Structure 1
């Protein structure tokens, strides 16, 4: 019995040593070249201070890629994200005010070993269509769901019907990253929560009360498209920022909210876009995902 106990103790100690070593290895991984791809939820429009390359992309020096690069102590960091980008802008240049953003894949190198990509919300003009349409319908039925009804045709949710195409496009983006940077760890970043799980704040998010839940379901479906693309790709991983942002929606008080509401705040965030607090929060989520 004594020998058995000694053997079992030795096995347990060895297993603990292996687990500790694996955790230390994951936490201490050093990245040589980190590339950030994405749209405005990556670039961080109007979060001080903006970069000028080009100014029209509204890339902040305090977006989550910049914070992550500092936190991970990467050797080289390239942020080519751009406000308004969609999946086509991975391979095509994007015209922006006062300049042009190069195809985002141009930043990828064979030795790139970390890539984050946050894309999909602008495909088929998804976000823009909702923001341009839904607030204007609130007055017609403040407690109902006029926007959901507007986009439901013959029983089909025409907004959610766009997302299979988006998922296929994101899957192509992931394949394109692997082809150009075959040794990179690739993270597809989901979108954080915009509307609260319960309650309303029409002065901040001017949608009809009944549309809040529908708009959240659209965002969840978009995130499902991103995670679905990751699953089909099989070589990348999905970072969920939706669940971690619970309680940090646009209705929350300053400092708690991760997302700005309808009003332009030239020293904090564009309408319906992440605030500094949101970028910081997402950075922590991504670092935890990396085991850093």
Structure 2
């Protein structure tokens, strides 16, 4: 009788422990996750595109969506939007097809416990200026640095100067995030590499040869600005995707590219933007730090 009771007690205890472990593993590790950012977060043209609103180019396969699924997030709000800059964190953004994306910080709650922020490249027209100008200058000086020369006025690189002015804007956004969601872990996600560390692929990335190195410098400066803002904030973390994306630039062959080249494909990805593979790669990098 004593043995029977002992066995029942052991089985009962094991059942409770097993149930507890199962419940703990099934519980979401993140209760509420909010993704903020621009097109390098939203993923324009990457299938499947969401319609809330359609003009934001928000993909259900972007890195926030992959991250949310991997973490088993309980409540996920992706409010990233193509074309957004730091001002659209607190102001509504008009988007194509007559839609409006509300101020992105409006998605934050007092109980939000994870926030990712990918922003800065559109401030002062940095990304759009480079992408819209450089390819058209290659023909005149294919082996030179015509784009860098174009943006250099009286010996001053105006693109890099503009990038230097982005840091206080990002700091202000981080301060606003902490105010709205004081308990949230905040990850600032940098931009992945567009151009290769060496070599050229003008059929895919039609920059002049000398402008490849300059494009890398511009990206490195932008990412350093984001990291500096994180350091000044003191309550966020920076996620480097530039380093891990080495070998996955737009020129990468064999399906290893994370970034689309010059050809816009409404069924794959926007020109000069992350591919689905790029979003998966970025998600893996962010996930490693989020865990």
TM-score with structure 1 length normalisation? 0.89
Instruction: Tell me the residue number matched to 2:287.
Output: 287
> Higher Cα Rg: structure 1 or 2?
2
Q: C-alpha separation between the residues in 1 aligned to 2:251 and 2:148?
A: 20
Gap runs ≥5 in structure 1: 1-27
Q: Which moved more, 1:107-116 or 1:262-271?
A: 262-271
Q: C-alpha separation between the residues in 1 aligned to 2:82 and 2:183?
A: 27
Instruction: Tell me the residue number matched to 1:49.
Output: 48
Q: How many correspondences in the alignment?
A: 265
Q: C-alpha separation between the residues in 2 aligned to 1:91 and 1:64?
A: 23
Q: C-alpha separation between the residues in 2 aligned to 1:102 and 1:152?
A: 36
Tell me if the contact between 2:28 and 2:73 (Cα under 8 Å) persists in the aligned partners: no
Instruction: Tell me the residue number matched to 1:156.
Output: 156
Instruction: Tell me the residue number matched to 2:146.
Output: 146
Q: Which moved more, 1:153-162 or 1:104-113?
A: 153-162
- Summarize deviations over 1:244-271 as a string: whole Å, max 9, x none: 0000000012520000000011111000
Instruction: Trace 1:89-128 onto structure 2 (pairs within 5 A).
Output: 89-98=88-97, 99-128=99-128
Instruction: Trace 1:1-292 onto structure 2 (pairs within 5 A).
Output: 30-98=29-97, 99-291=99-291
- Summarize deviations over 1:5-26 as a string: whole Å, max 9, x none: xxxxxxxxxxxxxxxxxxxxxx
- Summarize deviations over 1:54-96 as a string: whole Å, max 9, x none: 0000100000000000000010000000000000000000000
Q: Secondary structure at the match of 2:245?
A: coil
Q: C-alpha separation between the residues in 2 aligned to 1:179 and 1:209?
A: 45
Q: 1:254 to 1:42 in 2, by over 3 A?
A: farther
Tell me if the contact between 2:148 and 2:211 (Cα under 8 Å) persists in the aligned partners: yes
Q: C-alpha separation between the residues in 2 aligned to 1:150 and 1:254?
A: 34
Moved beyond 4 Å, runs of 4+: none
Shift of 1:29: 8.1
Gap runs ≥5 in structure 2: 1-26
- Summarize deviations over 1:146-170 as a string: whole Å, max 9, x none: 1111111121111100112111100
Q: C-alpha separation between the residues in 2 aligned to 1:95 and 1:56?
A: 9
